[in-house]
Chain A
Amino acid sequence: MPQVEEPKKADAVVNTIQQLGQTTAPVLESNLFCMTIIGQIEGHMVLPPQNKTTKYEHLIPQLVAAEQNSKIEGVLIVLNTVGGDVEAGLAIAEMISSVSKPTVTLVLGGGHSIGVPIAVAGDHSFIAETATMTIHPVRLNGLVINVPQSFEYLDKMQERVVRFVTSHSGISEQVFKALMFKTGELTRDIGTTVIGPDAVANGLIDAVGGIGDAIAELNRRIDQYRLGQAGGRIQ
């Protein structure tokens, strides 16, 4: 009953103004959940404060909530990340890929390193015309013991990223590895930076586009999903 709910909402707003001196504008409920992944993806280690971070322990329950909440019909993932923790990034990517509701990813600015598997984890991926993605090998930091096992460990970590990306996008393992180990492209590292249309040409990302395209695609997939569910019920 809107007549009953309205004064209640107004009361809540007045209360927050009185008690906290702040209020958030009343929002229309959206059927989309927008998840932003920015800066460093913070995983097992708390990073020093000069880093802007996205904490994976917050994103994972958010995805669970989005999957479970009946008001949410689709998830839009917006990325502008420089990478971060391998395990945390892969965990987020796996979570996104296993959400049953439609998911669309959009790379704005940059989706580098561990941002690459996250960018390809959705049902459909977009990249802005000027956005870039850096594909480079995983490096070891901290104390490294100079034994063959260290290399094998590194190789295994890298393989997890390669396997995820190649199985969730149109890029082949050969092309992805060629980009990853290319020399002469990056000044400080081995690897390649691909810009929007190049990422699409390589099959890494589905299309070049912005927020309008991403939302239109998500809405189209939501309609399809609804039809599928309705069809399921009849049976």
Chain B
Amino acid sequence: MLYTTMPLEQVLDGLENQQDRSIMISQGGITMQVEPLAPGVGRIVRLIEAGLNDYLRPELTPGSPILFAAPSEGGLRSVLP
């Protein structure tokens, strides 16, 4: 239930046409949902599994850009050590 001053038709406009293009990646011990923007570049949607203090890292806030290795057949690889 939404409780907002914004007109609901404006907030919910395009709700039906939303496509979930997000993928799951795992790097640096953090599993996250990322929306790919270009090969190897994405935007963080949400953290799925992370250490508590990772949530305090501003670069991991949802909406932040992130570089990642494209998921291969062998599973998920990371660009970070």
A23-57, CB under 8 A of B: which get 1 and which 0?
01000000001000000100001111111000101
How extensive is the interface on chain B, given as a class?
Answer: 20 to 34
The residue in chain A whose Cβ has the minimal distance to the Cβ of B67 is: A20
* Residue numbers in A under 8 Å from B18 (CB-CB): 46, 48-49
| Contact of B52 with A68 in the complex, beta carbons under 8 Å | yes
Could you say which of B1, B14, B53 contacts A69, with CB atoms under 8 Å apart?
B53
Whether B12 sits at the interface, judged by CB under 8 Å, is yes
Is A61 part of the binding interface, using a Cβ–Cβ cutoff of 8 Å? yes
Asked if B1 and A85 sit within 8 Å, CB to CB, the answer is yes
Q: Does A112 contact B (CB under 8 A)?
A: yes
If A24-B59, A48-B18, A65-B56 touch, whether A19 touches B4 (CB-CB below 8 Å) is: no
Which among B5, B15, B58, B80 is the interface contact of A82 at CB below 8 angstroms?
A: B5
Counting contact residues on chain A (CB < 8 A from B), the size range is 35 or more
Q: State which residues 123-139 of A face B: CB under 8 Å.
A: 134, 136, 138-139
| A48-B12 in contact (CB<8A) | yes
- Are the C-beta atoms of B55 and A83 separated by less than 8 Å? no
A204 within 8 A of B: no
Q: How many Å from the CB of A108 to the closest CB on chain B?
A: 16
B1, A62: Cβ atoms closer than 8 Å: no
Q: Which of A19, A68, A112 meets B5, CB within 8 Å?
A: A112
Contact of A58 with B61 at beta-carbon distance under 8 Å, contacts A48-B12, A141-B12 already known? yes
| Chain A residue at smallest Cβ distance from B47 | A58
Find A19's partner among B2, B62, B79 (CB 8 Å cutoff).
Answer: B79
Determine whether A233 belongs to the interface, using a CB cutoff of 8 Å to chain B: no
Q: A83-B6, A188-B7 are in contact. Are A48 and B15 (CB under 8 A)?
A: yes
Assuming A49-B18, A65-B52, what are 16 further A-B pairs, CB within 8 angstroms?
A: A24-B58, A40-B6, A45-B2, A46-B18, A48-B15, A50-B14, A55-B46, A64-B55, A65-B53, A69-B52, A82-B4, A83-B2, A83-B3, A110-B5, A139-B2, A139-B8
- Top 5 closest A-B pairs, CB basis? A83-B4, A48-B14, A61-B55, A112-B5, A65-B52
A–B Cβ pairs within 8 angstroms, 5 of them: A48-B17, A83-B3, A85-B1, A110-B5, A113-B5
Interface residues, chain A, CB within 8 Å of chain B? 19-20, 24, 33, 40, 45-51, 55, 57-58, 61-62, 64-66, 68-69, 72, 82-87, 89, 110, 112-114, 134, 136, 138-141, 157, 161, 188-189
